Amino acid sequence: MRKAFCLILFAVAYFFLVSPSLIYAGTWVTDSVSNQAGSRNYKIWVPSSYNSSTAVPLVMMLHGCTQTPDDFAAGTQMNAVADSNNFLVVYPEQPSNANQSKCWNWFEAASQTRGSGEPSLLVAIVQKLATSYNIDNTRVYVVGFSAGAGMSVVLGATYPDVFSAIAVASGLEYKAATSLNNAFSAQSQGGPNPNQQGTAAYQAMGSFARKVRVIVFHGTSDFTVNTTNGNQVISQWAQTNDLADDATDNNNIVDTPATTVNGSVSGGYSYTTSIYNAPNGTSLMEKWLIQSMGHAWSGGSTAGSFTDPKGPKASNEIWRFFSQQQNTPPPPPPPPVNDTTAPILTISPAGGTFDATVTVNLSLNESGTIYYTTDSSDPTNTSNTNRKSITNNGSIILQSNTTLSVYGLDLSNNASSIQVYNYTINPAPMAKTVVSTGGQDGYVATLSPTATTGGYSVAIDIYVGDNADMPLRGVVSFDTSSIPDNATILSAELRLFYTQASLGNPWTSNGALVADISNGCLGGNCSLTASDFEASVSASNAVMFAAPIDNKAGTSLVGTVNATAFDQVNKLGVTQFKLRFQNNSNNNRASDYLLLAGGEYYLTGYRPVLIVKYK
C-alpha cells in the first residue's frame, strides 16, 4: 500500500509539473464568458507563430466527463498540432456545478437549440475571442470527445454559420437523448432513427442551414459509448447535409462511402477509414473505426486520461481534414421587393404543462424580427419595456408559469397575427448528494470458501472480490434521512472510486460487480459485523456496475440504482449497500479484488456518494 501511495503522489506531481505550456512553444491565456445561461471559464492556446496581422483558424476542444482543459490538452496533444500549423486552440471548461461529472449536457433539451443553454455559452466564447484575436471566421471548428463529442454535434446543428466543420470522437447523433436517463440508453444501444434525427438537425439550423463537414472516430470495443453511435453520427449528418445541400431530401448525399481504406498503426491497431463525398465529388465526411480500441482518444498521449496511443493520431487527422477545404458562410438573403405577404410565425411547443423548464422555439418562414413578451402585455407596443426580440429564429427558456405573446415582422414590415399561449411549469426536481458514513463502511469476509458463518469485518477501506483464501464483500452506508419522507424518487446513482489498481482481474474471474440494497442496517446493526456477509437484504442486484476502462487509482465506478429498488431507500434513516461480484465464491483460490475508498478516505473527492433526484 505504501508503495502504491508513493506512485500516486509521483504521478500527480508529474501531471502538474509537466504541463503542456512547458512542452510546446506558445502561451496559455485564461478567461471566462457569461450570458443568460450562466458562465464558463476557458483556456486558449496561442502558438508562438501567431501574428495579429494574419487571420488564423480557431479550433474549439470540448473535453469528456471528469476531464479538464489541461488534461484534455495533454492527452490530445492538439497544442503541438497548432504550433506546427499556426492556429488557435480554445478549451472550454465544464464545471462540476453544471454537471457533477463535468460532462457537457448534450442530452438536455435546454442545450440542444440555438440561443440557449451551453451552445450559447460556447458560441459566446468564439465571439469574445474574435474581439481579441484575428480569427478567420470561415475556419472555426469544434472537436469533442465523449460528452464533448455529443455537444460538438449539437453545435454543428445549431450554429452551422459559426462552425464550418466538426470532429466527433466517441460521440452520438443529434438529440440521441433528451434526458439523462435516455442518455444512458443511447450510449449503450444507440439513439433514435438517424434519418429522423438528421431531419431534426436540419430544422435546428433554420435560416442558417448549410452543409457541415464531419469527421468521426470510434473504437469497435467502446463499451461506454457503443460503436453503433459512431455509425449513427455519419448517417444523421448524411441526411442533414442532404437537406442543407438544396433543401430537398433527394439522396444527393448518402451514408454510403465513396471510398473505404484499411490501415494499421505499427505495433498498434488496425482501422478502416470511410470517405463520404459531396455532390461535387469533394470529401464531406469521414469515419474512422479503430479495431479493438475502447472509449479513448485515438493516438493520444498517456499524459492525459482516456487516451490510447495504439490508435491512429486523431489530432493530426482531424486537422488534416479541417484544412482540406473550407465552407464559407451563406450570404444574407436580399430584401424582398414589393412584398405584401405576412410572414408565417411558428411557435413550438404551443403552450402546455412541462416539468422544470421548457425551451420554446420561435421561427419565421422568411427573414425578419420576432417580438414577444412574457407578462401578458402587448408585444406590438414599441414603448413596452418588457418587449424582447429575436432575429429570424431562436428560442427562449421558460422556468415558471408564463403567458407568452408573440408576433413577427418581415423585412417589408408585414406583420403576422399575434399568438398567445400559456405555459404551466412544474417545479424542478430536487437533488440530494449524500456522502457515506465512514465508520459504517468497510468489508466483511468468511473464514473459508465453504464457510457461511464466522469470519471477520474491517471498518476501513472497501475490499470486494476474492482474496487467496476467502471471498470479500464491501459495505457502504448512507444516512438518507435528509430525503423528504413524501418525496418521489426519480433516479439514484451510486459512485465509488479505486484507491489503487485492482489486484488481479476480478471483473473477468468473478463476473459483474453488483450492489444489494438494505432499507436500514444489515442484520439490524449499522456497525460492521462478520454476519453482514450473509445478512439478508431488501433487494438483490439493485445496482450493477460496468467494468471501467482504466485500472488505476482514481478510476470511478458509477452504478444506477434500479427503479424497482427506489422504495428501499430509507427516508427515515440508514440505507446500506452490500457490494459483491456475482461469482464471489473463491472457487479458483486466486487473489482478484478491488480496493475502493470508504467514507473516511483522506481524499474527500474519493469517498462514496449516493446521488438521489426526487420531486
Which domains does the chain carry? 24-324 (3.40.50.1820), 345-428 (2.60.40), 431-614 (2.60.120)
Q: List, in sequence order, every beta strand (DSSP E) within 480-547.
A: 489-497, 513-519, 539-545
Q: Are strands 135-145 and 165-169 parallel, antiparallel or unpaired?
A: parallel
CA distances, 566 to each of 476, 519, 538 (Å): 17, 10, 11
Q: What is the pLDDT of residue 584?
A: 63
Q: What is the pLDDT of residue 467?
A: 81
Q: What is the pLDDT of residue 8?
A: 33
> Distance between CA 258 and CA 459 in Å, rounded?
62
- How far is C-alpha 316 from the chain's CA centre? 23
Q: What is the pLDDT of residue 484?
A: 94
In sequence order, the 6+-apart residues with CB closer than 8 A to the CB of 580 are: 464, 471, 473, 474, 513, 514, 515, 516
Q: What is the pLDDT of residue 190?
A: 94
Cell numbers for 450, please give them: 465453504
Q: What is the pLDDT of residue 558?
A: 94
In sequence order, the 6+-apart residues with CB closer than 8 A to the CB of 331 are: none
Task: Pick the closest to residue 125 from 204, 207, 62 (CA basis).
Answer: 62
Strand partners, 214: 166, 285
Cell numbers for 312, please give them: 491512429
**Contact between 150 and 172 (Cβ < 8 Å):** yes
Q: List, in sequence order, every beta strand (DSSP E) within 356-429.
A: 358-364, 368-373, 388-391, 393-398, 402-410, 419-426
The amino acid sitting at 182 is N
Q: Which residues, given as ranges, of the chain have pLDDT below 50?
A: 1-24, 327-334, 451
Task: Pick the closest to residue 444 from 476, 478, 475, 477 (CA basis).
Answer: 475
Q: What is the pLDDT of residue 466?
A: 84
